[in-house]
A and B are shown apart, each in its own frame.
Chain A
Amino acid sequence: MTDEQKLVHFQERIDAGEKIEPKDWMPEAYRKTLLRQISQHAHSEVIGMQPEGNWVLRAPSLRAKKILLAKIQDEGGHGLYLYSAAETFGIDRSEMIEQLQTGKAKYSSVFNYPTLNWADIGAIGWLVDGAAIVNQTMLAKCSFGPYARAMVRICKEEGFHQRQGYEIMAKMMAGTNEQKAMAQDAMNRWWWPSLMMFGPHDSSSAHTSESMKWKIKVESNDSLRQRFVNRTVEQAHHIGLTVPDLNLTYNKETRNWNFGDINWDEFWTVVNGNGPCNHQRIAHHIKYHREGEWVREAAVAFGKKQQKQNSLN
């Protein structure tokens, strides 16, 4: 088959709803987009451990500590799982880490915001994981088999995280005035970054149309964002939180919550590396990766010695 015929066949398989597996033929652009997306997703899980880890030592009850630690472990586990999915493309993890540390690979911009009070942990679980679920439920239907399967598994755990995050917010909204103020403060700071997680408007998204054709995405940014807003606004009102958007109105005909303009300048500032914590997150990753170098070297050296000994025996 010529490449052109292969491409036609590939598109037919996609249109028929078949899953593409790592050993199947695929256009270079498909491969590149998925690798970029999966490694970016893996990095997001790993970098996301930092803002949440920021509160592990200060979590206010034994139960809260256990839930938060378990959540962070889930995220790290997702990272491992996704690195493995990316490795099916023939790249190894250390190469991906290098791309992260040099800025060649990105991670979810939302983790470039700081966690400043305990309610931020609630807000991340409820809003950030909530937005991630909407996106990942869509990705579970994507055409690349390993990624779709990873998403099915990951979505189950994110569901727990979202409920646990919401529970933190609900408890604080039922608590003292100081707790309510902290919860509202977290809501004010995390609401817009959560909406930005769905990416630019469909009209200005660089990757959307090709991704849709190949079913890497099966739904547009704006439609996913609207679904998230509809769900979340009512949850916020239910516990007495105000959504920080003066233009928020309910449209009875479309049954959508219409919301105000997203600050795209802020979005691009953070995506391009100048958000409040971009520098800190990467510097932290590099610092501890370097500090662990002697451990990784020791493990390799020990492994080699063992091998040598085994071959002598």
Chain B
Amino acid sequence: MKTQEAIYQYCLRIADSNLILAQRLAEWCSRGPILEEDLAMTNISLDLFGQAETLYEYAATIKGDNATADSLAFLRVEREYFNRLITEQPNGDFAVTMVREVLFSAYQNHLYQALCKSNDEMFRGFAEKALKEVKYHLRHSSEWVIRLGGGTEESKVRSQAALNELWRFTVDMFEMDEVDEELISMGIAPDMKEINKSWMKTVTEVFTEAELHIPDLNNVIKGSNKGIHTEHLGHILSEMQYLQRAFPGATW
């Protein structure tokens, strides 16, 4: 695999994850448990849309052929999205959203730290800026998970159920293929096995403090690198792409 092709694919993986999670978090708009959290979740969403846009712009320059950040974000079909499966999972209750946020922002935190040392200048610039944002996302969601785990009986039960539900999608975040191999060999992207180790340390700390136990991994669901999704993505896309699809060629 050529390096440029691998970079393109790698951009999509990160950008798609950010786009889809941003879309999910935006669903909380006017639905938060308190106004402050309504704003916090849509603020994280806004950060993630911004991160997605940066990498789509980079990907569009590699792709050429009049591709733009918007055409990549809005005009592909389901199998051409490579977001991590966890990002497309439904928001559920506030506990599900916060547990998902811990699992995913901890992943971004370690991935971006590694990308800060990438040989690719664009990735480096992206990661340095985005790292500051995801550190806040991780702190915010960790504080909530600890609060919910140690709050009432109900909040504890809901948080444990959330973790049990989502844990099956965590293996997918660290899957590697020829894209990773090419980029690792060029010093552009990290070995996900290393990221997995640091991630496990971080999330274990959070869940231990929250008095939640990490469930057994007897049901693993993966496939994002190949564009194999859960049933949820198609619905997210039909809503997100509605205007772009209904009025082809229109500019907004």
Contact = CB atoms under 8 A, between A and B. Distances in A.
Contacts of A56: 26, 29
Contacts of A83: 35
A69 interface: yes
Interface stretch (B105-113, B133-141, B237-245): B237-245
Given A175-B250, A294-B155, A299-B147, A62 B32 contact: no
Contact of A65 (B31, B43, B49, B146): B49
B53 interface: yes
A288 B41 CA distance: 15
Interface stretch (A74-82, A134-142, A184-192, A238-246): A74-82
Contact of B150 (A175, A176, A305): A305
B99 to A, nearest CB: 13
A272 B53 CA distance: 44
29 contacts: A53-B30, A57-B23, A60-B250, A61-B252, A62-B52, A62-B56, A62-B73, A63-B70, A69-B26, A72-B30, A72-B42, A77-B39, A80-B36, A83-B35, A168-B252, A175-B250, A175-B252, A178-B247, A178-B250, A179-B250, A284-B30, A288-B31, A292-B34, A294-B155, A294-B158, A295-B148, A295-B155, A297-B152, A298-B152
A85 to B, nearest CB: 15
Given A49-B30, A70-B46, A176-B247, A297 B155 contact: yes
Nearest to A290: B33
Interface in B65-97: 69-70, 73-74, 93-94
Contact of A288 (B32, B45, B46, B53): B32
B29 A295 contact: no
A301 interface: yes
A301 B250 contact: no
A227 interface: no
A58 interface: yes
Nearest to A77: B39
Interface residues of B, number: 49
B38 interface: yes
A62 B93 CA distance: 26
Pick the 9 closest A-B CB pairs, nearest first: A292-B33, A298-B151, A298-B155, A295-B33, A53-B29, A60-B243, A60-B252, A49-B30, A302-B151
Contacts of B178: none
Interface residues of A, number: 46
B152 A69 contact: no
Contacts of B30: 46, 49-50, 53, 72, 284, 288
A76 B38 contact: yes
B177 interface: no
Interface string A144-171: 0000000000000000000000001001
Contacts of B158: 294
Interface of A: 46, 49-50, 53, 56-66, 69-70, 72-73, 76-77, 79-80, 83, 118, 168, 171-172, 175-176, 178-179, 284, 288, 291-299, 301-302, 305
Contact of A179 (B22, B50, B247): B247
Given A171-B251, A291-B93, A298-B155, 5 more contacts: A58-B239, A60-B243, A65-B49, A69-B26, A292-B37
Contacts of A284: 30
A57 B151 contact: no
A149 B92 CA distance: 39
B83 to A, nearest CB: 15
Interface hub of A73, A284, A298 (most chain B Cβ within 10 A):
A298
Nearest to A56: B26
Interface string B179-191: 0000000000000
